[in-house]
Structure 1
Amino acid sequence: MSEFTHFNDQGRAKMVDISAKEETVRTALAKTSITVTEEVYKKITNHEIGKGDVLSVAQVAGIMAAKQTSNVIPMCHPISIKGVNVEFEWIVNDPDYTLGISVTVKTKGSTGVEMEALTAASITALTVYDMCKAVDKGMIIGETYLVEKTGGKSGDFLRKEK
């Protein structure tokens, strides 16, 4: 494991200087999920949630979250995001109804977009929860994790299947 770089000579937090790093195309794919009841699943898919179209709102929230990551994660650099894609997939295993959420973020810059993808995935799931909590507060947000990343000094990463 490499040395932590977010500490100064006094052992206090700092934002890493990336000014000498080469600009490369960088991508990151993060995933999460939210498990809901059959009632919530039907209300989402039939557009019967009073707050609006759940997946459309959650998708926009995820995109907005990716763009705002440096405002909520203290040591993240503000970056110029070139693209964000939020995708959904329903996995129906009665009695469970799980919405899989995949977020891909892309940039060309001096630092990666892993945190932006992870933040976007998390906020997308939280938005689904917020929009559906009047129907059921027992929804479960699943594991959030980086699937893969490309570009940068540390090279590519691909999560090994469990």
Structure 2
Amino acid sequence: MWNSIRERLCSARSASRLSQEAFASRLGVSARSLRDWEKGYDLPALGRLIAWARLLGFRLIVVASEGVLGDPGENVVEGESYEKSELRRLVAPLRIRRRQRSLSQTDMGLLLGVDRVTLASWERASHSPTVENLLAYVGRVRCRLDLEPIEP
């Protein structure tokens, strides 16, 4: 799942004809960080991943067997940062899927190796999970994380 997202972002950056150095500067990170992400040596913070995708014309989505989950305009709050509203949009369907599977926050936290308070803060979008934890959460509710083009 992560490799597919990483490869699509790398391809999109290459297709944009931006060097790693130029793109890293636009993203506000070092060229070394971007290089490590693109090679799969490291994972960005979730906010950086959301920004990386956005700069290349994508957004992260949660996909289940029945299709994309969540509403693109879901949970938009006036004056909220793009990253925060995207986090809200991503976690809303995960919370619903967790509940559909009759998993409490405590149970899901145990599966992910975090406590209930941490999981609750992710589901409220008051804190961001790491990309690793988001991928694990998505997998535990039998979904996948993917990219979709942003509508112009």
TM normalised by structure 2 equals 0.29
Relative contact order: is structure 1 or structure 2 higher (C-alpha 8 Å, sep ≥ 6)? 1
Higher-Rg structure is 1
Please identify which structure carries the higher helix content.
Answer: 2
TM normalised by structure 1 equals 0.28
Please identify which structure carries the higher strand content.
Answer: 1
